[in-house]
Structure 1
Amino acid sequence: MRELDSLEAFLKQKGQLHCAVVQGLDFTDVEINWDRLDFQGAVFLGCHFPVEVTADFLLNKGAVIFPNFPSLPYNPYRNRLYSREELMKGWTKQQDRSLDKMIYDHFVQKGKSKADILESLAQRLHDHAIDDGVRDLLGGRIEEGGKKKVVGVMGGHTTGRDSESYAKVVRVARSLSRKGFFVASGGGPGIMEAANLGAWMVDASDEMVDQVLDLLKSTPHFALDGYQKAALSVLDLIPKGGSSLSVPTWFYGHEPSNLFSTHIAKYFSNSIREDGLLSIATHGVIYAPGSAGTTQEIFMDATQNHYLTYDEISPMVFLGKQRYIEDTMLYPCLKQLAEGREYGDYLFCTDEIDEVVSFIETHPPKRG
């Protein structure tokens, strides 16, 4: 089925909408001769129509209509990913009245994962729309350059901006972006912010990176006053940056979404978000030091490689020998699990930035 998520794409069909999916469009001020359109098998997801175009008219023409839900602060049928500007709209240094906060408050009020059937349905439709937006982005429909070579970056959300791990991830992400890879993170603070920040500074000099890291050290943790203000100061310093993806969730809405990604795929369901982020990282995942959440992601990723869930093997790179060999022994454990399997050659542990980037470059995804 054809996906039509812009008025331009809709009008190009010249009325032939047979088996087309029309997503989140507003037709109220568009001049269209609706009587001449072929609606047989067309599906409309959350669209707005002129008064004269009734539901009965569309249904009699053979269309299927998914109606809008009332009183929601979010659009379940949105036809694009979020941007930083959209989610931050309404935020001030004095008070957070952003769209991001409004949606989170609504999510909590409705019971989060225990919401009633209509709210749960709206959330699932929303997350499906985000899935679709991610596919459009990574497939090359949104930006130039064709299909993206995605590298995921995982690690602790409490890692401070003043830590060595944070600085290393910034430089790793910058180097990968310069080499044509597309960085994706979990979208929150800590290591996730460092990954998107590195991609944002793809064209920045080493001196500028040092300046930015010094600026951010003043508020190392997201619970401190001035945390978002420091990030906005970086954006004032570098108003245009490189592209990257963040994949946060309102399930952890008390953590601020980081401000350095150009595309934000924010989900209600944390399980869909975590598995989805690992599945799109076809060119590998880098693991900086983290705690329980990072450990869970490591074994989810290893499972995908072990059982060839997506028919490909991709690198798993551990940035931190102390953490992953000596303190937790997670790396030796994975090496043992991978013994005799092809993905054993795609496991690597190091402390060196250049070695991380080199391993990703020399180990492209491999069909199992």
Structure 2
Amino acid sequence: MRSKFKGPVVQRRDQVDGSTTDQRLLDSRGDSGWLHTDPWRVMRIQAEFVEGFGALAELGPAIAVFGSARTPVDHPSYAAAEELGRRLAEAGFAVITGGGPGAMEAANKGASEAGGVSVGLGIELPFETGLNDWSDVGINFRYFFARKTMFVKYSQGFAVLPGGVGTLDELFEAMTLVQTRKVTSFPIVLIGTDYWRGLVDWLRDTVAAEGKIAVEDLDMLTLTDDLDEVVALMQAARDADAGEASER
């Protein structure tokens, strides 16, 4: 059955429309009617922030886990994501994903089955149909920027599994926030040395070599296959945050 989520609303069968809310917001082509409707969109955007803040305000320490929605169930990355979700939950973290299938589903599953808080932050897309079944707390967003705010505000670190364009977008946004000091004590861990090494080499040998970033900027990234190391880094960041809070 054909279905689609638009924020908290589900459309099915012939009620499924052919565009997304983000698309209509950003598309300025055509007549000038959008000039009179954009101010009202602010109310919908505000509502998304209110819903997100209300649902996650008491979440506690959490880690965002990113990875491809196209990861098959029998792929090693799926198993790694599921195990990571379990270990993070056992270490006292909530696990936040994009709420989709693949690696996101696996991380949510691992956290949920371990008795942890498993959060899915979905997004309206024309080719996905809502949150995976392991998202015990789920919010569907219309706007990418509102959703991204929730990831950053309520996560103490990013664990990044192999993924595509969406995963790269999330990775580089996290790097930008750390580089510009918009966030502090925010570990970014790339899981899968074979998959990510080429990207890290390019950042060092091309981007940093040409002076587009500082070599020290690469220190914000940890590249590993060791899930124990991932959890230890997240715990260290949590402990550092707790120590700074007690001194204030």
Category of TM-score, reference length = shorter chain: 0.7 to 0.9
Q: Which residue matches 1:303?
A: 176
CA deviation after TM superposition for structure 1 residue 291, in Å? 1.1
Q: Which residue matches 2:73?
A: 161
CA deviation after TM superposition for structure 1 residue 131, in Å? 2.7
CA deviation after TM superposition for structure 1 residue 258, in Å? 0.8
Q: Which has the larger radius of gyration?
A: 1
Amino acid at match of 2:21: K
Task: Tell me the distance in 2 between the aligned counterparts of 1:362 and 1:263.
Answer: 26
Alignment gaps of 5+ in structure 1? 1-93, 139-147, 203-240
Q: Which residue matches 1:129?
A: 50
| Conservation of the 8 A alpha-carbon contact between 1:156 and 1:291 | yes
| Conservation of the 8 A alpha-carbon contact between 1:130 and 1:267 | no
CA deviation after TM superposition for structure 1 residue 101, in Å? 2.7
Q: Which residue matches 1:102?
A: 11
Q: Which residue matches 2:41?
A: 120
Is 1:171 equivalent to 2:83 in the alignment?
Answer: yes
Task: Tell me the distance in 1 between the aligned counterparts of 2:4 and 2:189.
Answer: 39
Cα 1:185–1:333 change in 2 (3 A) is: farther
| Conservation of the 8 A alpha-carbon contact between 2:20 and 2:126 | no
Q: Which residue matches 1:19?
A: none
Q: Which residue matches 1:184?
A: 96
Q: Which residue matches 1:258?
A: 132
Amino acid at match of 2:137: H
| Conservation of the 8 A alpha-carbon contact between 2:91 and 2:231 | no
Amino acid at match of 1:200: S
TM-score by length of 2: 0.75
Secondary structure of 1:308's aligned partner: coil
Task: Tell me the distance in 1 between the aligned counterparts of 2:65 and 2:4.
Answer: 30
Secondary structure of 2:83's aligned partner: helix
List structure 1 runs of 4+ shifted beyond 6 angstroms: 103-107
- Which residue of the other structure, out of 192, 196, 203, is the alignment partner of 1:324? 196
Q: Which residue matches 2:185?
A: 313
- Which residue of the other structure, out of 162, 183, 198, is the alignment partner of 1:289? 162
Task: Tell me the distance in 1 between the aligned counterparts of 2:165 and 2:46.
Answer: 29
| Conservation of the 8 A alpha-carbon contact between 1:317 and 1:347 | yes
| Conservation of the 8 A alpha-carbon contact between 2:158 and 2:187 | yes
Amino acid at match of 1:316: I
Cα 1:255–1:196 change in 2 (3 A) is: same
CA deviation after TM superposition for structure 1 residue 323, in Å? 0.9
Tell me how many residue pairs correspond in the alignment.
223
CA deviation after TM superposition for structure 1 residue 257, in Å? 1.5
Question: Residues 4-44 of structure 1: CA distance to partner in whole angstroms, max 9, x if unpaired?
Answer: xxxxxxxxxxxxxxxxxxxxxxxxxxxxxxxxxxxxxxxxx
| Conservation of the 8 A alpha-carbon contact between 1:104 and 1:250 | no
Alignment gaps of 5+ in structure 2? 26-33
Amino acid at match of 1:137: E
Amino acid at match of 2:11: M
Identity, % of aligned positions:
23
Q: Which residue matches 1:200?
A: 112
Task: Tell me the distance in 2 between the aligned counterparts of 1:275 and 1:307.
Answer: 16
Q: Which residue matches 1:82?
A: none
Greater percentage in strand:
2
Greater percentage in helix:
2
Which of structures 1 and 2 has the larger relative contact order (alpha carbons within 8 angstroms, sep 6+)? 2
TM-score by length of 1: 0.53
Cα 1:292–1:96 change in 2 (3 A) is: closer
Amino acid at match of 1:357: V
| Conservation of the 8 A alpha-carbon contact between 2:4 and 2:126 | no
| Conservation of the 8 A alpha-carbon contact between 1:153 and 1:184 | yes
Question: Residues 64-122 of structure 1: CA distance to partner in whole angstroms, max 9, x if unpaired?
Answer: xxxxxxxxxxxxxxxxxxxxxxxxxxxxxx78699753299878368623266287345
Cα 1:107–1:276 change in 2 (3 A) is: farther
| Conservation of the 8 A alpha-carbon contact between 2:4 and 2:16 | no
CA deviation after TM superposition for structure 1 residue 356, in Å? 1.7
Secondary structure of 1:359's aligned partner: helix
Question: Residues 216-240 of structure 1: CA distance to partner in whole angstroms, max 9, x if unpaired?
Answer: xxxxxxxxxxxxxxxxxxxxxxxxx
